């Protein structure tokens, strides 16, 4: 669990999961993410940022694993609000996570853009991945007052 979540977070009934396999899914999911971000109270810029980051993560899944799942949840902690995004796939996995997160790194196309940039803008960002064992990315962002 990402650090800033702490002990009091419940996985709650607001979670919505989407399958990711085509670019039409990408559009649908990122629009949902934007609406959720709006509902949570993120600023205009943050909403676009979150939607774009979700779009990037989706594209990574399609590019590397062909198929995956994304879930988007509301977060609540001591009246702080935030968004939690989890991306899972059973793809080839990332053999060197540190490299993948380095700015400018690109194993082929796309990877170099999606992950480092997304990590930068999220408050917490965790990748769990083993070669041939799929990848799971958990990330969250909190509304700042």
Which residue lies nearer to other proteins by CB, 43 or 133?
Answer: 43
Contact between 20 and 28 (Cβ < 8 Å): no
Which listed residue (3, 108, 109, 132) binds other proteins by CB under 8 A?
109
Least separation in angstroms between residue 26's CB and other proteins is 8
Which long-range contacts (C-beta less than 8 Å, at least 24 apart) are formed by 70-73? 70/17, 70/18, 70/20, 70/29, 71/15, 71/16, 71/17, 71/18, 72/15, 72/16, 72/18, 72/29, 72/32, 72/33, 72/36, 73/11, 73/12, 73/14, 73/15, 73/16
Footprint (CB under 8 A) of other proteins, residues 8-67: 8-10, 12-16, 23-24, 27, 30, 32, 34-36, 38-39, 41, 43-45, 47-49, 51-53, 55-56, 59
Residue 2 lies near other proteins (rule: CB under 8 A):
no
Residue 103 lies near other proteins (rule: CB under 8 A):
yes
Footprint (CB under 8 A) of other proteins, residues 57-86: 59, 74-79, 81
Contact between 20 and 32 (Cβ < 8 Å): no
Measured between its terminal Cα atoms, the distance across the chain in Å is 24
Which listed residue (120, 130, 131, 133) binds other proteins by CB under 8 A?
120
Contact between 22 and 68 (Cβ < 8 Å): no
Residues that bind other proteins (CB under 8 A): 8-10, 12-16, 23-24, 27, 30, 32, 34-36, 38-39, 41, 43-45, 47-49, 51-53, 55-56, 59, 74-79, 81, 103, 109-110, 113-114, 116-118, 120-121, 144-145
């Amino acid at each position: 669990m990402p650090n800033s979540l702490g002990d009091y977070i419940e996985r709650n009934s607001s979670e919505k999961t989407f399958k990711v396999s085509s670019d039409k899914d990408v559009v649908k999911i990122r629009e949902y993410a934007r609406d959720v971000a709006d509902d949570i109270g993120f600023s205009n810029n943050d909403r676009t940022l979150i939607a774009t980051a979700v779009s990037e993560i989706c594209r990574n899944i399609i590019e590397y694993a062909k198929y995956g799942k994304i879930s988007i949840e509301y977060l609540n902690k001591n009246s702080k609000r935030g968004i939690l995004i989890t991306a899972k796939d059973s793809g080839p996995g990332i053999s060197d996570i540190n490299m993948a997160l380095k700015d400018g790194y690109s194993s082929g196309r796309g990877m170099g853009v999606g992950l480092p940039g997304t990590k930068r803008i999220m408050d917490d960002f965790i990748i769990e991945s083993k070669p041939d064992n799929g990848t799971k990315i958990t990330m969250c962002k909190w509304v700042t007052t």
